[in-house]
A and B are shown apart, each in its own frame.
Chain A
Amino acid sequence: MLEIRNLHAKIASTGTEIIRGLNLTVNNGEVAAIMGPNGSGKSTLSYILAGREDYEVTDGDILYDGESILELDPAERAAKGIFLAFQYPMEIPGVATMEFLKVAMNAQRKARGEDPLSIPDFIRRVKEASAELSMDMAMLKRPLNVGFSGGEKKRAEILQMKLLEPKLCVLDETDSGLDIDALKIVSDGVNALRSPDRSIVVITHYQRLLEHIVPDSVHVLYKGQVIKSGDKGLALELEENGYAGVIGEAA
């Protein structure tokens, strides 16, 4: 599904290198957790996967279904099935949430050569998905993410993910700002999307989320490289001993 080969990337405006020779493979149906201390490049990696312009890839490649995506813009990547659940979802005043959902769903359908959804069909899908996430439809009448609480924004991200049915989901610190109940709802939402032909990359700081979304593999990111990979046991080890041990090993 996803193969990152010797990736090097810098911040375009300052030239600061953030990703320094990163290698990572995520197979079809795999849930991979990326953990690491602050500043290790976790969020940067998520942005680079989604195609944010602020970062420039200087070396290496990102293969998605065997093809390089480096030349694709964010919309083209999304249409191919890559979805980033943002750590800090953007508030966009003036853009109605429902309108946004409809435009996004139909844009992706169009890119895949499918007909646009009928209005009743669209509304039915949104109703079903929001009910599963215990979201009030009234919230979706508001402008996109405007006035949403931190937890509501995260739920709205997962709602979008359910509706857009991506093949590669990248969750950037989806647990931050969530209380226990919301964490459970969001995790259940993610788990419901697990399937043999969908891969999920969970970026997180804490083991907590991984109790709910149990990963198949865990990778430690430090200074822009994956310094250690393992199974879910690695996350528990990190929880107990902190990152220092793993970093020391790698050094």
Chain B
Amino acid sequence: MSNYFGNYSLCIALILSIYLIFKSYFDANSENKNLDKNYILITSIQTLMILISFVSLVTAFIISDFSNVTVFNNSHTLKPLFYKIAGTWGNHEGSLLLWINILVLFSSLFLFINKNNDKDFKILTLLFQNILIIIFLIFLLSNSNPFSKLFPIPLEGLGLNPILQDPALAIHPPLLYVGFVGSSIYFSAALAALISKIDSKSLAISIKPWVLISWFFQTVGILVGSIWAYYELGWGGYWFWDPVENSSLMPWFVMTALLHSILVLERKIGLYSWVIILSILTFTMSVTGTFLVRSGILNSVHTFASDPSRGLFILSFLILMVFFSIYVFFKFAPFENKKYSIFSKETFIIANNWFMIFFLGVVLIGTLYPVFLDTITGSKISVGPPYYNLILAPFLIPLLFLMTSGPNYKWISNETKSFFNFVLVLSVILFLITFFIVKESSFLLNLILFFSIYLITQTLFDFYESFKKRNINISRIISHLGFGLLIFFIYINHIFSLENNFNLKLGEVKKTNNYVIKFNNLEEQSIKNYKSVIGHFNISNKKTLRSQELKPEIRLYDKPVIITYEASIDSNLFSDTYLTMSNISETNVFNIKFQIKPFMNFIWFSVLLLSLGGILNFFKRNKNETN
């Protein structure tokens, strides 16, 4: 039943999109100054249809309707309800449906909420947005239909990959999709702005909330994915420069650049074309990321069952989108020639943009180079953390410095400031204290440490100063503080992390650094959809005399048959103790990986702080507008 509902509502949505495209195409050229009320009505019905199809799929997953191929392939009656629901987007078809849902939802919200009254701008945005919707709907219906039927109806499904049965991972894709797909709206708006020639201030006002929202979700989505990798993949790392992680980071860089350049744009001091380019680039990067993940040209934990026709479709879409954007840009973009004073806020924001674009370039090259090399020469290489650390780390120093001093300069002024002040002295003292505790010898790492401390102190000082003046730019302060803390804690974590691999039999004791690890017991359990072997370990610290009980697990899932290794993490405020075990078949020896990871919670917290700044800015805007 739900199959029919799903299928038909998608078809209706498709027809409505086609109608909207024709209507908006003709209305954009008409003399009428007001927006036809029918747009709101049709878009509402379209949104409703898309939501019905999504709810149908979720229902099929909840009731385990195995007449649906997608449900059969990715679910199982024994799965807990939460993972049945999450299973909806844990596969190619369902996630594409979710993607379209967000696309439609954003396009209707833009139409309903946007205060900009330029009729042509609104209609053209809707036109481009509906072209995107149609292309993805056709792709969904023709190639990846989530409502394909199966007959005879099987009694049981094949199950969801157990590595995906995790609360963090259940919410990771929807968060990232809001970020990815949310950028479509300012892609469409940017093209519409060029053609309808709206001024820079209205462009900035129209796209800013969408940039903030998508940036916020992108940041939180990356954070949740990173937390998942930390405790589920069992390697104890939180960022691997995996090509697919990179594909979520690339749009993030452009969004961050865009977020900052909009500040210049809304003050009518230039960057019109640049904001347009960034808006187009963000969505291009999102689609490129989708292409890399879905086409299967990259090997990674994220690889969906790959199918060359999917890759071809997304690539064709990408080509169409990029060349159309290039055409519109070169035909309509206005000529700009602004001169900026060196010591003005705009200069610092432009510098921020160049850094973000540089980071984007480095990550893009690192991700695509192996693919290109393989295609052209046939040789296989992999680009890993050493490349990124080597190239990105030195550039963090000037970036941190610009983030520290930039915000205190004024718009359109050329006032120089003395670099020597109270905050700098305080930062040097704090740095020296940290340095004597850490005793790191690398010059580069020490510079990064110093500048992250400088940024933190300066931002806190700014907060105090602006609090006195009752004029607080709280979102900037929180985000910059979050970034400074992030770099600081990554540094501390990097220096004090401890890792040791060894083999142990039941009852044996291993001494390493200041720790004594005792393998006390082995327990077997049978749980709903898996069997598990749980090791009981006692870890005592010789220095602090603290002792912890850790229970890493080896899980054997039966639907489908997969072994996963569950890390046991004893997390307290300042440090995580991380233990994984894996069995060595036909022996009674277990391979143990023991790690001490300091300040992990602080790393997560810093990213939350960073994203919080974005969402605060969003609410502040709305408040200002209503006042």
Are A and B subunits of one complex? no
| B interface residues (Cβ-Cβ under 8 A, vs A) | none
| A interface residues (Cβ-Cβ under 8 A, vs B) | none
